[in-house]
Structure 1
Amino acid sequence: MPPEPIRHLRDLTRYRSTLGAELSREAQRLEKELEDVGIKFSTVAIDILGVSGRAMLEALINGERDVHVLAQMAKARMRPKIPSLVEALTGSFGERHAFLCRLHLDRIDQLKAAIGQPSTRIEEEIRPFARQLELLQTIPGVGRAVAEVLIAETGADMSRFRTAGHLASWAGVCPGHHESAGKQKSGSRRHGNRWLGAALGTAAMAASRTRDRTYLGARYMRLMPRLGRKKALVALEHSMLTAVWHMLTQAHRRSGRGGRGAL
Structure 2
Amino acid sequence: MEDVIAKFKQSKLELIHPNAAGIDIGSASHFVAVPPDRDNKPVREFKSFTADLNGLADWLEACEIDTVAMESTGVYWIPLYELLESRGLTVYLVNARHVRNVSGRKSDVLDCQWLQQLMSFGLLSGAFRPKDEICALRAISRQRDMLIRYQARHVQHMQKALAQMNIQLANVISDIVGETGQKIVRAIITGERDGHILANLKSNRIRAGKDEIEKSLVGNWREEHLFALKQAMSLYDAYSERLTECDRQLETMLAALQVHKVEICQKKRRSNVKNAPKFDLRAHLIGMCGVDLTRIDGIEVTTAMKVLSEVGADMSRFKSAKQFASWLGLCPGTKISGGKVLSGASKRTANRAAQALRMAAVSLKSSQSALGAYYRRLCGRLDKAKAITATAHKLARLIYTMLTKGTEYVDKGQEYYEERYRQRVLHHLTVRARKLGFNLTPVPEAT
Task: Give me the TM-score of the superposition, normalised by structure 1.
Answer: 0.78
Native 8 Å contact 2:375 2:391 kept in 1: yes
Cα distance in 1, alignment partners of residues 317 and 371 from structure 2: 26
C-alpha distance in structure 1 between counterparts of 2:356 and 2:405, whole Å: 23
Q: Residues 168 and 241 of structure 1 are in contact (CA less than 8 Å); yes or no, is this contact kept in structure 2?
A: yes
Structure 2 residue 330 is matched with structure 1 residue 152:
no
1:25 to 153, 162, 181: 153
Answer yes or no: is 1:137 the counterpart of 2:267.
no
Give the Cα–Cα distance (whole angstroms) in 2 for the partners of residues 92 and 229 of structure 1: 44
Aligned partner of residue 393 in structure 2, secondary structure: helix
**Which secondary structure does the structure 2 equivalent of 1:160 belong to?**
coil
Relative to its length, the structure with more helix (as a share) is 1
Aligned to 2:144: 16
Cα distance in 1 between the residues matched to 2:368 and 2:165: 41
Deviations 1:226-250 (Å, cap 9, x if unpaired)? 5566554444433322221111011
Kindly tell me: are residues 74 and 147 of structure 1, through their superposed partners in 2, closer, same or farther at Cα, counting changes over 3 Å? Answer: same
**Match for residue 246 of structure 1?**
401
Alignment match of 2:364 (pick from 196, 200, 208): 208
Q: CA deviation at 1:35?
A: 2.7
Equivalent of 1:98 in 226, 229, 253:
226
Find 1:128's aligned residue among 240, 244, 258.
258
Which residue does the alignment assign to 1:261?
none
- 1:76 corresponds in structure 2 to 204
Q: What CA deviation, in whole Å up to 9, does each residue of 1:55-112 have, x standing for no partner? A: 1111222233343433332102215444443454443342222211111111111112
Give the direction of change, closer, same or farther, for the CA distance of 1:193–1:183 in structure 2 (3 Å limit): closer
CA distance in structure 1 between the aligned counterparts of 2:171 and 2:383, rounded to whole angstroms: 24
Describe the shift of the 1:231–1:250 C-alpha distance in structure 2 as closer, same or farther (beyond 3 A): same
87-96 or 163-172, which deviates more: 87-96
Relative distance call for 1:56 and 1:177 in structure 2 (3 A) is farther
1:48-87 alignment runs, 5 A limit: 48-87=176-215
Distance 1:118 1:223 in 2: 39
- Helix, strand or coil: the match of 1:169? helix
Closer, same or farther: CA 6–104 of 1 in aligned 2, 3 Å: same
> Is the counterpart of residue 6 in structure 1 residue 145 in structure 2?
no
User: Shift of residue 218 of structure 1?
Assistant: 3.8
Task: Identify unmatched segments of 5+ residues in structure 1.
Answer: 253-263
Q: Which residue of 1 aligns with 2:170?
A: 42
Deviations 1:151-175 (A, max 9, x none): 1211222222233232223223345
**What is the CA–CA distance in structure 2 between the aligned matches of 1:83 and 1:8, rounded to whole Å?**
51
User: Take 2:341 and 2:164, find their aligned partners in 1: how far apart are those partners?
Assistant: 49
Specify the SS of the correspondent of 2:206.
helix
How far has the Cα of 1:40 moved from its partner?
3.7
Contact residue 170 and residue 193 of structure 1 kept, 8 A: no
Q: Give the alignment's Cα RMSD to 1 decimal.
A: 3.0
Per residue, is there more strand in 1 or in 2?
Answer: 2
Residues 25 and 4 (structure 1), Cα distance of their counterparts in 2 relative to 1, 3 Å cut: same
TM-score normalized by the length of structure 2: 0.49
- Judged with a 3 Å threshold, the aligned counterparts in structure 2 of structure 1 residues 84 and 245 are, in CA distance, closer, same or farther, namely farther
Contact 1:164/1:246, CA 8 A, preserved across alignment: yes
What is the DSSP-based 3-state SS (H/G/I as helix, E as strand, rest coil) of the residue aligned with 1:247? Answer: helix
Structure 2: how far apart are the matches of 1:108 and 1:68?
26
Q: Identity over aligned residues, as a percent?
A: 30
Q: Residues 249 and 31 of structure 1: is their aligned pair in 2 closer, same or farther, counting only changes over 3 Å?
A: same
The letter of the residue matching 2:258 is P
Q: How many residues align?
A: 249
Distance 1:190 1:23, change over 3 A: farther
Amino acid at match of 1:60: I
